[in-house]
Amino acid sequence: MLLGSAGISSQVHAAENILSLSDIIPTAGSSASIVSGGILQLTNNVLSKPTYQIGSAYSAKDANYANFNASFSFRFSGTGSIGSADGLVFVIKNAGSKTTGGDGGGLGYGTITTGSGSYTGIPNSIGIEFDNWVNPEVSDPKINHIGINTNGKVTSLATANVSPSFNGNGPWYAWVDYDGSNLSVSVSTSNAKPETAMLTYEIGDLESIIGSPTALIGFTGSTGGATQTEQVLSLNYTNNEIGAVPEPGMLALFGTGGLMAFGRKHLTRRRTIA
């Protein structure tokens, strides 16, 4: 009884809400499509006019994001007449928010004015950018970088430079982790996750940004005057809900305590009968 009332427990993470690339659906009217092998293609450099494309794709159902791990692989290939651009964004957004932002330096996610017009970004969202073009107007640090963005802004909260170039050196492997307060991002040409994250930012409670306890998971991408083909090759998204369960040692004690209680009750009953 004492052991049972003590409530001794440990915190464990139970994986749930797993999404794979097959759960991600291209947004109608965007440049995104599913190509051979189930690959998500956000932009296509082979088109007769590959400039100023905007692609987006999202999960068909909401997912929890209170504590998550996401890993995916991607590839940029091909170049336009003035180079390769612009990149893609891993997005977690409110289901009611719009699906795309601007082309070019907007990466299909953000607020920007480009050669084709002015765009507003995706509100109530976070976006992890993988950018291979310098846009000074949004304070890009270097031609090849990763960044953490919110609410459709492509001026990043934090960035880290990446080498070699994303374009032509893939596939690239990316990891995005959130522990309830900190967002951590890594990227590599090896599928072995780095022991230390390349970029970490204390972002706080994501629900205060997204405005809902669940969200849609997906990707956006774009081209501008410079172009490239942008493809997402794989995705594994897992939310880790925290639950209290007894320590293994406590389970044994509970079992022992139960047997002892049963033995005492049984002995008392025998004495009463006698």
CA gap 86, 171 in Å, rounded: 17
Q: What is the pTM of this model?
A: 0.84
The reported pLDDT for the residue numbered 14 is 53
Task: Tell me the per-residue pLDDT of 169-223, one tens digit each, with 9 for 90 and over.
Answer: 999 999 999 999 999 999 999 999 999 999 999 999 999 999 999 999 999 999 9
Say if 180 falls within a structural domain: yes
In a domain, 264, yes or no: no
Report how many domains make up the chain.
Answer: 1
pLDDT at 16: 67
In a domain, 273, yes or no: no
Percent of the residues in the chain that have a pLDDT greater than 70, as a whole number: 81
Which residue range is the domain that position 190 belongs to?
A: 12-246
185 in a domain, yes or no? yes
Question: What pLDDT score does 6 carry?
Answer: 44
* Cβ neighbours around 202 below 10 Å, total: 9
pLDDT tens for residues 30-45? 999 999 999 999 999 9
* CA count, 13 A, side-chain hemisphere, 172: 28
95 located within any domain:
yes
Give per-10-residue mean pLDDT for the chain (274 aa). Answer: 43 66 98 98 97 98 96 97 96 98 98 96 98 94 95 97 96 98 98 96 98 98 98 96 50 45 46 43
Indicate whether 216 belongs to any domain. Answer: yes
* CATH number reported for the structural domain that contains residue 152 in this entry: 2.60.120.200
In a domain, 126, yes or no: yes
Give the per-residue pLDDT at 142. Answer: 85
- Residue 136 is assigned to a structural domain of this protein: yes
Q: What are the helix (H) ranges across the chain?
A: 2-6, 207-210, 248-273
